[in-house]
Structure formats: structure tokens, C-alpha cells
Amino acid sequence: MNKSNVSFRNRLLIWQYEYSDAVIGAAFFCAFALMKSIAIVELQANPVIATQRVMGVVEYVRVKPINPYGMVGHNLYYTYDVRLDDDNTRISVDDDVRRPHLVGSVVPIERQHGADTYRLLNG
């Protein structure tokens, strides 16, 4: 058998030219399969086991701008100190609502058991 006069570098270039599409396709397939498996692994149980609607009275309102360079009156974030009606507990609720609630107004709150968090309801 005769030895080929093609150098190793040229053989690699020929191999790259011949099989580059297959390698790219296999890489995309592996990346897609890996993304799907990561999504399945990241599924976690929701810590909220039950929700309860309670009412509370707003005692204090703080305004925090999300973007300090934004226009006045837009992109505002409100923090409310609320006294719950059922057990007279004072909680702090952070929420971005459509319209701010006044001090002394009665607001609906969703108590999330399991995560022990509160969410201000619009309505």
C-alpha cells in the first residue's frame, strides 16, 4: 500500500469540511436535550399549601421608586404596613398595585400558608 501524501493538518481540514454539519447538528441535539432535562430537574414543589383571604387596615404607606430616573408618578412600588382584622397582627406587604391604598382603608390580603407570606389583592 502506498502512503498518502496528504499531511495530517490537511486530513483534519478535509474531515472538518466533510463532517462539520453533522457535528453542529449533534451539538444542537445534545444542547436541546440538556435544556429539556434541566427544566424537568428544576421542577420543585410549590411551598404554598393553602391560601386564605383576610382583611386588614392600612396603617402606613411607603413609596419606593423602581427606577429613580423614571418619570414622576410612574413605576412606583408601594410598601404597606397592615394590621390584620382576624388576629390583630401587624404585617408588611410589598406590592405593585394599580392604584395606591390610603391610610385607614380596608384592603383584602391573601395569606399563603406554607410559605408564610402575604400578597395584597387588587379588589
Beta-strand ranges (E) seen in 6-116 are 50-65, 76-84, 90-95, 106-113
CATH number for the domain including 67?
Answer: 2.40.50
| Shared domain check, 29 and 84 | no
The whole model's pTM is what?
A: 0.54
Say if strands 50-65 and 90-95 run parallel, antiparallel, or are unpaired.
unpaired
> Does an H or E element contain 66, and which?
none
Same domain, 14 and 69: no
Provide the residue range defining the domain that includes 81: 50-120
Shared domain check, 55 and 12: no
Q: What is the pLDDT along the chain (123 residues), one digit of tens a residue?
A: 466 677 888 888 888 888 888 888 888 888 888 887 776 766 666 777 888 999 999 999 887 766 656 555 566 678 889 999 988 899 988 876 667 788 999 999 998 887 788 888 875
Phi–psi pair at 89, nearest 5 degrees: -85, 140
